[in-house]
Structure 1
Amino acid sequence: MPQLDTSTWSITILSMVLTLFIILQLKVSKYKYPEISEPKSLLSSKKLVPWEEKWTKIYLPLLSPQR
């Protein structure tokens, strides 16, 4: 049974890793990162949801007097 020649494996693996690293760097360098802006206040970023904007009739039965 013939022996498997593993003498070229190290250079193949090293070249593959180097190639993948270069490809990754090229992909990342094309990405445009957003500009860093001042942090927004947490209080001003709160958005009102529809049920907070107005009082609805859903809550009115709870306000009726007790029997």
Structure 2
Amino acid sequence: MPQLDTSTWFTTIFSTYVSLFILMQPKLAKHNFITPPRTPKTPNTMTHSTTWETKWTKIYLPLSSPPQ
């Protein structure tokens, strides 16, 4: 039974890595990566003019109301 010749494996694997690196460089160069924002953005707060009072009111559920 013949022995497995592994003398060319290093050359094959190394050349595969080099060729994949060369092929992937143009693809990665064209890709637009998202950059993090440099300054935090403040959300735009909108003011609403309401006709009711601006205070909290209690809302009662029907099950929590006293029996009638």
Q: TM-score, normalised by structure 1?
A: 0.51
Structure 2 spans left out of the alignment, 5+ residues: 46-56
Aligned residues: 52
Q: What percent identity do the matched residue pairs reach?
A: 35
Which runs of 4 or more aligned residues in structure 1 lie more than 3 Å from their structure 2 counterparts after TM superposition?
Answer: 32-38
Provide the aligned C-alpha RMSD in A.
Answer: 3.4
Give per-residue Cα distances to partners, 1:22-52, cap 9 Å, x unaligned.
12212101223467865242x3267xxxxxx
Larger Rg: 2
Tell me the residue number matched to 2:4.
4
Q: TM-score, normalised by structure 2?
A: 0.51
Structure 1 spans left out of the alignment, 5+ residues: 47-59
The change in CA–CA distance for 1:35 and 1:62 in structure 2 (over 3 A counts) is closer
- Higher helix content, 1 or 2: 1
